[in-house]
């Protein structure tokens, strides 16, 4: 029997604006033995909608994205656009 499992195997908080990096592994198994593994990564900023993220990722985002981080990130964005 061949099975496919998708797991979030790494969640990191990086940088001044607490970017959340999520690595997802897709594991293919045949008779319970792993035969393939591939990875997908995506990053989240404090301005991103996290409603479709896992409960674990949402909890981490809510824990680290305080008002100060959000304000500092917005100031950074504004400086990049010249506003």
pLDDT digits (tens, 9 = 90+) for 33-70: 999 999 999 999 999 999 999 999 999 999 999 999 99
Selected residue with higher pLDDT from 82 and 65: 65
Residue 34, SS3 per DSSP:
strand
Buried b (16+ CB within 10 A) or exposed e, 17-40: bbbbebebeeeeeeeeeeeeeeee
CA distances 56 to 18, 37, 75, Å, are 16, 22, 28
């Amino acid at each position: 029997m061949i099975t496919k499992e998708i797991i979030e195997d790494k969640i990191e908080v990086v940088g001044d604006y607490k970017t959340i990096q999520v690595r997802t592994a897709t594991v293919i198994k045949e008779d319970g033995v792993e035969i393939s593994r591939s990875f997908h990564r995506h990053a989240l900023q404090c301005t991103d909608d996290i409603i479709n993220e896992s409960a674990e990722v949402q909890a981490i985002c809510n824990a680290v994205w305080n008002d100060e981080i959000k304000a500092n990130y917005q100031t950074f964005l504004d400086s990049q656009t010249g506003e």
